[in-house]
Amino acid sequence: MPTKLDMAKFAKFCKDMGFIFQSSEIYGGINGFWDYGPLGVELKRNIKEAWWQDMVRNPPPGPDGQEIRMVGLDCSIIMNPNVWVASGHVGGFSDPMVDCLKCKKRFRADKVHFACAVVDNTPHAISVEADNATDAEPLLKEKIAKLDKKKHPVGRALKSAPQLEYHSATALPASWPRPCPAEDCDGTLTEPRAFNLMFESHAGPIASDENKVYLRPETAQGIFANYKNVLDSSRLKLPFGIAQVGKAFRNEINPRNFTFRSREFEQMEIEFFCHPNESRKWYEYWRDLRRQWYSRLGLKSENLVPREQGQEELAHYSVGTTDIEYMFPFSDEPQELEGVAHRGDFDLSAHSSRSGKDLKYFDEEGWNALLQVRLEAFKDDKAKREEEKKKLEKEEKAQFQFVPHVIEPSAGADRFTLAVLCEAYTEDTAPDAKGNPETRIVMKFHPRLAPIKAAIFPLVNKDGMDEEAKKLYRELKPFFNVVYDQSGAIGRRYRRQDEAGTPFCITVDGDTMKDGTVTIRDRDTLKQERIPKSEVRKVLEKALSPV
Ligand code: GAP
C-alpha cells in the first residue's frame, strides 16, 4: 500500500509545482473542475500519447499471436440526443442522491454512512460522508467520541451498550432517522432519489425541450454511432478495435478526492468488436493487458487490484466487468482506475433498433469459404449450382450475419494522471552541496511520462560552459522536452528538477571544454556518469523507448 498522503498538502505541492490548479481559482474556484499547469499538461499529454502509441498504433499481438487491428476516432462532444436515449443514459444514467432539507446540500446516497442506536425504544443516528463503509467507521467513531455523551442519545447508547448498526443511506431501513452529515447542520435528509448525471444544454438560440442536447458522459457512444462509417471506410474485418481519447462530462453529485471524481474529465476508451463466440477470450486478453500496461508505466503491481464486479454492481449494458483498481493514498480501499467491460451486443443492437439502421456484421470470408466447399460438387452444372446456392442463402447465410460483441477497456486519463502523481511522490534524503544529507521531494515518474526529459546545466556561467550547454540544449530540443537552467547553485538546480520529476540532469563542466564529455545524473540513483556529449541523445532515446 502506498504511504498515506496528506491530500491537502499534496494538492498544494501540485499547485506550487504547476501540475494541477483549481479551475477559476481567482473567483473562488468551481467544484469538480481542474486545470493542468505547465508540468501537468506535459504529464497528461505523455499519458495520452503513451496510451495511443501502445494501444492504437502498436498494440501487442492478440491471444492468437496475430496483429491486432485498431483504428482511432475523434467524435463531437454533443451528439444527436437519440444517441443517449438508445444508450440508456437518458433513462438510467443516474446516481441515488439525498438532499438535506435544512442546509440544502446534496450528497450521493451511497457515500453517506450512518451509525444507528436504539435508546428507550427510539432509534437515533449520526452520519458522515465517506467513500465506503471501511472509511466511514473510524469517522463515525470519531464523531461519536466528540458528542456530548450525556446529551446526545447516540453518544449515550455507545457509552452504555455499544450496539451500533452501520448503514449507508441506500441501505438504511425506512424507520431510521436520517441526520445530515454536514458539520454544524442538524437537518434531516430526504429518501434517496435518482439524479441524472448528464449536463444539459441547448443547440440553437431557443432554450426549448426540442433543442435540448447533452454533453457526452462517455466517449464510447461516439464510437458505436460511427461503427458502420468506420467499418465501411476502413474495410476492417472482425476482430478490430476503435479507440478514442476525449472529454466527458458528468454532473457528479459530490466531486471529491482532488481530481479523482471530477465533473469534466478525459477518457481513453477502446471498443473492441469481435465474434460472440470469441468474446470471453478477448475480455480476458484486454483485462490482463490493461493491468500490465499500468505496471509497465510505473504503478507498482501491489497497488493494482483487478476486481471482478458482482452481478448486482454491473451497469445496465454489461454482462461482466473487471475494475482495475488502484490503492489511491486517500482511501483505505482500492478505487477504480479503469473498467474493462464485456458489453455484449447491447450498444449496437440498441442503436440499430432506435436508428432503424442495420448494424449487423457480415462475415463475407466465412460465407465465401462455405460456398466454395458446398458448391464444389456442382462445378460443372450451372443450374444445379444456382439452385444449391439459393438453398444455402435461405438456410445458412444468416449465421454469417450477426451483431458483434464488444469488449471495452475504459480508462480515465485524469485518474491515471492522479495515480501517477501519487505513486511518483517520494520524500527521501540526498546529499546537499556540502555532502550533508538533506530531505528532498522527488517525483519518480517513468521517463516516458516525465514532463521534462532532461535538464541541461552549465556548471558555472563562464569559460564558455554556458554557451556549450546552450548548444547541447538546442541540439536536443527538437527531439525531447528539455530545459536549460543556469540560475543558482548546481545543487538547487538538481532539487528543482527532482521536484519536477526530470529523470536526467546533464552538466557541462570544465572537462567538457577539454574532452567533450558531460556528466549525466540519474534522478533516482543519484549516480553521475561521464559520457561523450554526442551520446546524450542515444541515452535519452533508450530511456524513453516504449519497448
Ligand atoms: N464507457 C464506460 C464508462 O464510461 P465508467 O466506469 O463510468 O465507464 C470509465 O468510466 C473510466 O472513466 C473510469 O474508470 C474512470 O477512470 C473515468 N471516470 C469516470 N467518471 C469519472 C469522474 N467523475 N472523474 C474522473 N474520471 C472519471
pTM for the whole structure:
0.89
Residue 382 CA, ligand 1 centroid: distance in Å: 58
Q: What is the pLDDT of residues 501-531, one digit of tens each?
A: 999 999 999 999 999 999 999 999 999 999 9
User: Residue of the nearest CA to atom 16 in ligand 1?
Assistant: 412
Residue 522 CA, ligand 1 centroid: distance in Å: 35
User: Are 330 and 474 contained in the same domain?
Assistant: no
User: Are 227 and 191 contained in the same domain?
Assistant: no
Q: What is the DSSP letter of 243?
A: E
Confirm whether 435 is domain-assigned.
no
Confirm whether 425 is domain-assigned.
no
User: Are 204 and 342 contained in the same domain?
Assistant: yes
User: Residue of the nearest CA to atom 7 in ligand 1?
Assistant: 218
Confirm whether 192 is domain-assigned.
yes
User: Are 210 and 346 contained in the same domain?
Assistant: yes
The ligand 1 atom at the shortest distance from the C-alpha of residue 338 is: 14
User: Residue of the nearest CA to atom 17 in ligand 1?
Assistant: 412
Domain boundary among 167, 196, 225: 196
Domain boundary among 179, 196, 213: 196
Measured from CB, residues less than 6 Å from any atom of ligand 1 are: 218, 220, 250, 252, 261-262, 265, 267, 269, 336-339, 408, 410-412, 414-415
Rounded to whole angstroms, what are the CA distances from 156 to 117, 121, 168, 271, 458? Answer: 9, 14, 22, 55, 69
Q: What is the DSSP letter of 193?
A: E
- Is 262 one of the annotated binding-site residues? yes
User: Are 144 and 209 contained in the same domain?
Assistant: no
User: Residue of the nearest CA to atom 14 in ligand 1?
Assistant: 338
Number of domains the chain is built from: 4
Confirm whether 301 is domain-assigned.
yes
Q: What is the pLDDT of residues 273-332, one digit of tens each?
A: 999 999 999 999 999 999 999 999 999 999 999 999 888 888 777 888 999 999 999 888
Q: Which of 146-155, 234-243, 248-257 has the lowest mean pLDDT?
A: 146-155
User: Are 413 and 388 contained in the same domain?
Assistant: no
Test site for ligand 1: of 33, 265, 328, most ligand atoms within 8 A of the Cβ: 265
- Which three cell numbers, joined as nine digits, stand for 71? 483504428
Spatial separation of the C-alpha atoms in residues 323 and 422, rounded to whole Å: 19
Q: What is the pLDDT of residues 79-132, one digit of tens each?
A: 999 999 999 999 988 888 999 999 999 999 989 999 888 777 788 888 999 988
User: Are 350 and 472 contained in the same domain?
Assistant: no
User: Are 243 and 369 contained in the same domain?
Assistant: no
Q: What is the pLDDT of residues 467-508, one digit of tens each?
A: 999 999 999 999 999 999 999 999 999 999 999 999 999 999
Rounded to whole angstroms, what are the CA distances from 274 to 68, 232, 291, 429? Answer: 12, 16, 21, 52
pLDDT of residue 159: 63
Confirm whether 466 is domain-assigned.
yes
- Is 349 one of the annotated binding-site residues? no
- Which three cell numbers, joined as nine digits, stand for 523? 534522478
- Is 369 one of the annotated binding-site residues? no
The ligand 1 atom at the shortest distance from the C-alpha of residue 336 is: 14
Confirm whether 431 is domain-assigned.
no
The answer to whether residues 408 and 374 touch, using CB atoms and an 8 Å cutoff, is: no
The CATH code of the domain that includes 254 is: 3.30.930.10
Handedness of CA 144, 145, 148, 149 (dihedral sign): positive
The CATH code of the domain that includes 478 is: 3.40.50.800
The parent domain of residue 508 ranges over 452-544
Test site for ligand 1: of 51, 215, 326, 415, most ligand atoms within 8 A of the Cβ: 415
Determine how many CB atoms are found less than 10 A away from the CB of residue 438.
14
User: Are 230 and 248 contained in the same domain?
Assistant: yes
Confirm whether 428 is domain-assigned.
no
Determine how many CB atoms are found less than 10 A away from the CB of residue 361.
21
User: Are 293 and 377 contained in the same domain?
Assistant: no
User: Are 276 and 343 contained in the same domain?
Assistant: yes
- Is 388 one of the annotated binding-site residues? no
User: Are 161 and 17 contained in the same domain?
Assistant: no
Length of the chain: 547
Domain boundary among 144, 164, 196: 196
Confirm whether 432 is domain-assigned.
no
